[in-house]
């Protein structure tokens, strides 16, 4: 296909939106508006409604001429043949499961847009050089079986199959179910090994809502995703001493909450200095009484940055600062104007999770950028810059593409979502925004296929 | 009695400790050491074990020659006649109920020391000018029926009887019981109206452990309590926006927890500047996930100072500072080195409880100070200063003496407790410290009786 042909083919936006909202009848969640499609989603992985969505995926892609297979993790792969079928397909895909109080776009947009790509290729009688595939990854959210991206992780060889199969449902009413038992129950325990060896990919492209507010705030249509941030998760425990709020002067306190407040503030200052992120999303304390100074606080700390070295540097600075703050010193000005205490707290760190930085493949990034530029009417592509239509981004959240990137060239496409909100019923991207994403996804896949043909 | 006679009479410390530990068999709590008396206490008000302690109180004081009556709140009053019985007694007393995980001294020391005073007066054939009374106030802790000092509050006319009688037990296994039903059940619903009119007091002296670390830290034997701090309790709600910790830059966050951390720090700085106290003992957040910036935080704020004006000033400054912090401004330097956010949080205050400052009576304070000075071998009393043996203090915690002070001259005596710990099984004051307190309590009552005789 010529560049002009590539730039002229467009997906059918109405048909895409119809696929999104039709499939979202299965697992419909809380309403956020009055319209029939203004609800969130509650489609937990391997539930009865997830089975309905899976059945739709298999039937639809089969009817579109694909060969469909399911692996031992329930990952579904639909393959549309190309002119030459000796090499692996170029894939597009994402996931159909949602958070318990999730929305209609996170994951779902990526799969439905890939299916719409198949429809558009058929409509236009397009024959690709190599096969094109669509994938639906199982339990990406980790909301029912508590490990995010577990099934692409097994595919990549990063998570052992048995460990994944034995993950237990965290839904209290159904907590004896395992991934394996639920895969069997709904008929999606495939026989194909869950492995990049059995289901190889030439490339993996994933369209996703941004889940952040940057594209909307900067009025850009497409995010060209260069990689995924590194992150490390910690649990920090601060121990002081319970004491009476009325009878204990500041000097004699070892206030674990005040100390933790200083630490949270210091972590923010340190991350700001390193152009990184540091966040606390969980905080618990004991004993929890208005007139008792808490002697015990436990909080989460989530450090992220595009580079592993930056995460390490933020962690190192935070460890030093927290020690100093627990000892009553004035790290990062947190003790300015405070009354000095003659009692100290202790601080203890536990590392819960480490995810190194992911750098996507230049060829895939370039295909996404060219597709975006063609769709949106130009702007610099081959130089270092990018037109006003788009933005080169690093994903803050993890995605299945982190695992595919270990075994094949990968990139992602982001589209804006309202107020940056996701994992929430009110998550929303407009039909135009969804259409933009689907066009760039298809454009990137076709450009990558052309690139393969040119080698 | 002459000053020399007064100074020479001493309580029997062994007998006092025996009373403490014998009565603490009823409602024995968790051990903190290996010794038989090294346990805490769990004697909730109007429980079966509280009834045992009450029976001991009535039987012991009756056998010591007192007339004992119980009012409608179960407050027990034991009166030892004086030479003239036309005027009300000078009282000593405190409470026999404890926290669910309390210790052996909070309240208990004050009542047993008052009983030991009766024993010592009898041993020494002392006839006071006016009657001397001992009081055991009901449910001072507010741990079972959720209103602290409720029964002295009814006695003072500050809490309506019906409201108090209808308070429900907060113990989940027994949550239909009310104060009235439990008073009836254990046989302590007296017929005498719970009122300062029916049971008048000429004065009220209360011995108590400090519940703070100051006396121990400064190596002083006796605290001469001049009053009780004013305090106000608030619930502060901070609303921001849930967002993804990885996908949301600092600029686009409205982080309710980071904002609350800044507020807690600012409240500490403001209180430090006003020589007051500000404390947060409760903090809850939503949604509570490592990778979600919390959009909702609720925390308690407890502001205390010796003067009402100071509490008001701290509240006013905190309100201004919290508004500014929620709006992203740099009040009290909390935003130094922080990344500015273009999103704001909102802040909302609810006032939960207001307790104005209590100023005890000069005559009672003077009697406590003289008794302390005589016991400990001197130091300035009549001038402004006080010897190294003691310290003029303002109680940080509330006590029944706050209510008695509304209708009769009142003061309190504090003795050190180990590490300032109370409301904890490990609460501890040594036999010598308990003995000091009991001697000062008796000395203050006798001096006040002499003062009344001199009028």
- CA distance linking residue A274 with residue A315, whole number of Å: 11
Residues A388 and A259 in one domain: no
Per CB-CB distance under 8 Å, the chain B contacts of A334 are: 265
pLDDT at residue A178 tops 90:
yes
Among A304, A337, A398, the residue with its CB nearest the CB of B333 is A337
Facing A333 at nearest CB: one of B213, B272, B333: B333
Kindly write down the DSSP assignment for every residue of B320-359, as one continuous string. HHHHHHHTT--GGGTTTTPPP-SS--EEEEEEEEEE--EE
For B147-203, write each residue's pLDDT tens digit: 899 999 999 999 999 999 999 988 777 778 999 999 999 999 999 999 999 999 999
Q: β-strands A283-286, A39-41: how paired? A: unpaired
Exposure on the CB side of residue A41, measured as CA atoms within 13 A: 34
Give yes or no for residue B392 having a pLDDT over 90.
yes
Instruction: Extract the tokens encoding A342.
Output: 């003659």
Q: Is A442 helix (H, G, I), strand (E, B) or coil?
A: helix
Q: How far is CA A231 from CA A58, A203, A278, A307, A319, in A?
A: 35, 24, 10, 9, 16
Partners of A168 in the β-ladder: A178
Statement to judge: residues A262 and A272 lie in one domain: yes
Query: What DSSP string describes B82-118?
Result: -S--SSPPEEEEEE----TTB-SSTTHHHHHHHHHHH
Going by C-alpha positions, the residue among A54, A55, A136, A124 that lies closest to residue A91 is A136
Interface contact flag, A229 B244, Cβ < 8 Å: no
Output the six-digit token pair for B415: 């003795």
Q: Cite the beta strand spans of B114-257 per DSSP E.
A: 132-137, 203-209, 222-228, 230-239, 243-244
For residue A382, is pLDDT > 90? no
Q: How far is CA A230 from CA A143, A277, B328, B394, in A?
A: 21, 10, 28, 53
Q: A46 with A138: CB under 8 angstroms?
A: yes
What CATH number does the domain containing B254 carry?
3.30.70.360
| Pair (A430, A286) in one structural domain | no
- Residues 6 or more apart whose Cβ sits within 8 Å of residue B256: B238, B239, B240, B285, B293, B294, B295, B296, B297, B345
> Rounded to an integer, what distance in angstroms lies between the CA atom of residue A204 and that of residue A135?
9
| Pair of tokens at residue A432 | 């135009």
Angle formed at CA A401 by CA A398 and CA A407, multiple of 5 degrees: 130
Write out chain A residues lying below 8 Å of B217, CB-based.
Answer: 252
For the stretch A133-164, pLDDT in tens is 999 999 999 889 988 999 999 999 999 999 99
Which single residue is written with the structure tokens 């990952």? A75
Are B302 and A280 a contacting pair at CB < 8 A?
no
Q: How many CB pairs under 8 A join A and B?
A: 220
All residues at 6 or more sequence positions from A259 whose CB lies less than 8 Å from its CB, including other chains: A238, A240, A297, A325, A326, A345, A347
Cβ distance of B247 and A217 shorter than 8 Å: no
Is B292 found in the same domain as B212? no
pLDDT digits (tens, 9 = 90+) for A187-203: 999 999 999 999 999 99
B35-93 pLDDT, tens digit per residue, is 999 999 999 999 999 999 999 999 999 999 999 999 999 999 999 999 999 999 999 99
CA A373 – CA A369 distance, rounded (Å): 6
Instruction: From B355, B375, B391, give the residue that closes a domain.
Output: B355
Q: CB within 8 A of B455, min separation 6: which ones?
A: none
Q: Is the peptide bond before B148 cis (omega within 30 degrees of 0)?
A: no
Distances (CA, A) of B398 to B22, B152, B352, B439: 27, 12, 16, 23
Is the pLDDT confidence value at B286 over 70? yes
The last residue of one of the domains, among A307, A330, A355, is A355
Cα pseudo-dihedral B265, B267, B273, B275, rounded to 10: -120
Could you tell me the CA-to-CA distances from A279 to A276, A357, B6, B289 in Å, in that order? 10, 18, 65, 11
Choose from B148, B247, B321 for mutation: most chain A CBs within 10 A.
B247
Q: How would you label A217-247 residue by residue, b for 16+ Cβ within 10 Å and e otherwise?
A: eeebbbbbbbbbbbbbbbebbbbbbbbbbbb
Q: What is the mean pLDDT of residues A167-177?
A: 82
Q: Are residues A111 and A235 in the same domain?
A: no
CB A15 within 8 A of CB A21: no
What pLDDT is stored for residue A352 in this prediction? 87
pLDDT of residue A378: 72
Non-local (6+) Cβ contacts of A277 within 8 A are A229, A271, A302, A303, A304, A305, A396, B245, B246, B249, B250
- Please give the C-alpha separations between residue A298 and each of A292, A327, A350, B264, in angstroms, as whole numbers: 17, 17, 11, 17
Residues of B in contact with A214 (CB under 8 A): 249, 252
- DSSP symbol at B241: B
Contact A400, A152 (CB under 8 A): yes
Subunit contact A255:B279, Cβ cutoff 8 A: yes
Confidence of residue B7 (pLDDT cuts 50, 70, 90): confident
The pLDDT tens digits of the residues spanning A270-308 come to 999 999 999 999 999 988 888 889 999 999 999 999 999
Is the confidence at residue B25, as pLDDT, over 80?
A: yes
CA–CA separation, A135 and A117 (whole Å): 12
Same structural domain, B141 and B244? no
Q: How much is the pLDDT for B4?
A: 86
Q: Are residues B307 and B423 in the same domain?
A: no
Nearest chain A CA: its distance from B257 CA (Å): 8
Q: Does the pLDDT at position A385 exceed 80?
A: no
What confidence tens digit (pLDDT) does each residue in A337-365 have? Answer: 999 888 999 999 999 888 899 999 999 99
Which region among A399-408, B358-367, B371-380, B393-402 has the lowest average model confidence (pLDDT)?
B371-380
Cα atoms found within 13 Å of the Cα of residue A140, Cβ hemisphere only: 30
B416/B430 Cα distance (integer angstroms): 9
| Cα–Cα dist A338/B266, whole Å | 9
How many angstroms separate the CA of residue A297 from the nearest CA in chain B?
A: 10
User: What is the extent of the structural domain holding B308?
Assistant: 230-355
Q: What is the largest CA-CA distance in chain B?
A: 82
Mean of all residue pLDDT scores within chain B = 94
Nearest Cβ partner for A396 among B244, B292, B420: B244
- pLDDT of B211 > 60? The answer is yes
SS3 content of chain B, % helix, strand, coil (to 5): 35, 25, 40
Q: Do A350 and A433 reside in the same domain of the chain?
A: no
Residues B164 and B305 in one domain: no
Report the alpha-carbon distance of residue A350 to residue B303 in Å, rounded.
Answer: 34
DSSP A147-198: STTHHHHHHTTSS-HHHHHTPBP--GGGTT-BHHHHHHHTT---SB-SSTTT
Q: Is the pLDDT of residue B383 over 70?
A: no
Same domain for A280 and A346?
yes
B272: nearest CB among A285, A288, A337:
A337
Interface touch A249/B214, C-beta < 8 Å: yes
Identify the band that residue B136 occupies on the pLDDT scale cut at 50, 70 and 90.
very high
User: If DSSP codes are grouped into helix, strand and coil, which group holds residue A244?
Assistant: strand
Residues B221 and B246 in one domain: no
> In Å, how far is B296's CA from the nearest CA of chain A?
11
* Percent of chain B with pLDDT strictly greater than 70: 98
Nearest to A98 by CA among A423, A364, A401: A423
Only one residue has tokens 């009756």, namely B62
Which CATH number does the domain housing residue A205 bear? 3.40.630.10
Chain B CB contacts of A249 below 8 Å: 212-214, 277
Distance from CA of B138 to the nearest CA of A (A): 21
What's the whole-number mean pLDDT along residues B306-328? 97
Q: End of a domain among B294, B321, B355?
A: B355
Q: Where are the alpha helices (DSSP H) in A189-299?
A: 214-217, 256-273
Q: What is the pLDDT of residue B380?
A: 62
Q: What is the rounded CA–CA span in Å between residue A245 and residue A288?
A: 12
Strand partners, B207: B413
Asked whether residue A13 carries a pLDDT value surpassing 60, the answer given is: yes
The CA R_g of chain A, rounded to the nearest whole Å, is: 24
Q: What is the spatial distance between Cα B167 and Cα B169, in angstroms, rounded to a whole number?
A: 7
Rounded Cα distance between A267 and B338, Å, is 10
- Cα(A184)–Cα(A182) distance, integer angstroms: 5
d(CA A412, CA A196): 19
Task: Give the per-residue pLDDT at B382.
Answer: 54
Same-domain check for residues B15 and B159: yes
Flag the least confident range among A108-112, A393-397, B428-432.
A393-397
Contacts of B243 in chain A (CB under 8 A): 212-213, 420-421
Count how many domains chain A has. 2
Is residue B370 scored above 80 in pLDDT? yes
């Amino acid at each position: 296909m010529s560049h002009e042909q590539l730039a002229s083919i467009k997906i059918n936006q109405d048909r895409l939106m119809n696929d999104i909202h039709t499939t979202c009848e299965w697992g419909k969640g809380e309403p956020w508006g009055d319209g029939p499609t203004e609800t969130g989603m509650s489609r937990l992985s391997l539930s009865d409604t997830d089975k309905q969505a899976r059945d739709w995926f298999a039937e639809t892609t089969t009817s579109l001429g694909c060969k469909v297979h399911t692996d031992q993790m329930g990952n579904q792969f639909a393959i549309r043949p190309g002119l030459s079928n000796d090499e692996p397909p170029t894939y597009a895909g994402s996931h159909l499961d949602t958070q318990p109080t999730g929305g209609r776009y996170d994951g779902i947009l990526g799969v439905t847009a890939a299916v719409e790509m198949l429809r558009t290729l058929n409509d236009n009688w397009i024959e690709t050089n190599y096969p094109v595939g669509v994938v639906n990854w199982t339990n990406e959210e980790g909301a029912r079986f508590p490990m995010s991206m577990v099934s692409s992780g097994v595919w990549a060889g990063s998570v052992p199959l048995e460990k994944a199969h034995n993950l237990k449902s965290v839904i209290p009413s159904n907590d004896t179910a395992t991934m394996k038992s639920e895969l069997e129950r709904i008929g999606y325990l495939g026989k194909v090994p869950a492995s990049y060896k059995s289901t190889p990919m030439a490339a993996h492209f994933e369209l996703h809502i941004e889940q952040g507010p940057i594209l909307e705030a900067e009025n850009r249509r497409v995010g060209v995703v260069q990689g995924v941030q590194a992150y490390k998760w910690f649990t920090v425990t601060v121990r002081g001493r319970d004491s009476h709020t009325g009878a204990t002067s500041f000097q004699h306190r070892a206030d674990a909450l005040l100390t933790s407040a200083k630490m949270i503030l210091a972590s923010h200052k340190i991350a700001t200095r390193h152009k990184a992120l540091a966040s606390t999303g969980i905080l618990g304390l004991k004993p929890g009484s208005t007139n008792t100074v808490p002697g015990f606080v436990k909080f989460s700390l989530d450090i992220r940055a595009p580079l592993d070295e930056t995460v390490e540097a933020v962690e190192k600075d935070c460890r030093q600062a927290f020690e100093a703050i627990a000892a009553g010193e004035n790290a990062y000005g947190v003790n300015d104007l405070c009354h000095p205490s003659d009692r100290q707290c202790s601080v203890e760190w536990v590392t819960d999770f480490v995810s190194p930085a992911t750098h996507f493949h230049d060829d895939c990034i370039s295909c996404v950028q060219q597709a975006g530029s063609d769709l949106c009417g130009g702007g610099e592509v081959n130089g270092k810059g990018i037109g006003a239509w788009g933005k080169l981004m690093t994903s803050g959240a993890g995605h299945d593409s982190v695992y595919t990137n270990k075994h094949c060239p990968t990139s992602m496409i982001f589209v804006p979502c309202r107020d940056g909100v996701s994992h929430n019923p009110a998550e929303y991207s407009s039909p135009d925004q969804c259409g933009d994403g689907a066009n760039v996804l298809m454009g990137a896949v076709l450009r990558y296929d052309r690139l393969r043909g040119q080698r």
